[in-house]
Amino acid sequence: MSVSAVYKVSGMSCGHCEGAVSGEISELPGVSSVKAVASTGEVTVISTEALREEDVRAAVEEAGFELVGVA
């Protein structure tokens, strides 16, 4: 089973930003796919089970951005 969630992230403005956010979130346990889109500020995450928002927030902050919430 896989779970898809879309998060809103502020501060992404380019491909490098997308890569940084994707890289940090993809290290979370169970994550199989991450697609960050700077133009919309949305990050789509597919994982084996629902992720804790605190874990996603920590990963986004580690990349230097702010998690606004779930889209």
45 close to 4: Cβ distance less than 8 angstroms: yes
Is the model's pLDDT at 1 over the cut of 90? no
Q: pTM for the complete prediction?
A: 0.94
Is the model's pLDDT at 51 over the cut of 90? yes
Q: Domain 3-70 is of which CATH architecture?
A: 2-Layer Sandwich (3.30)
Nearest to 59 by CA among 15, 16, 14, 9: 9
Task: List the domain boundaries for the chain.
Answer: 3-70
Nearest to 45 by CA among 58, 36, 34, 55: 34
pLDDT of residue 71: 86
DSSP tag of 15: H
pLDDT of residue 7: 98
pLDDT of residue 35: 98
CA distance 13 to 30: 27
Share of the chain above pLDDT 70, in %: 100
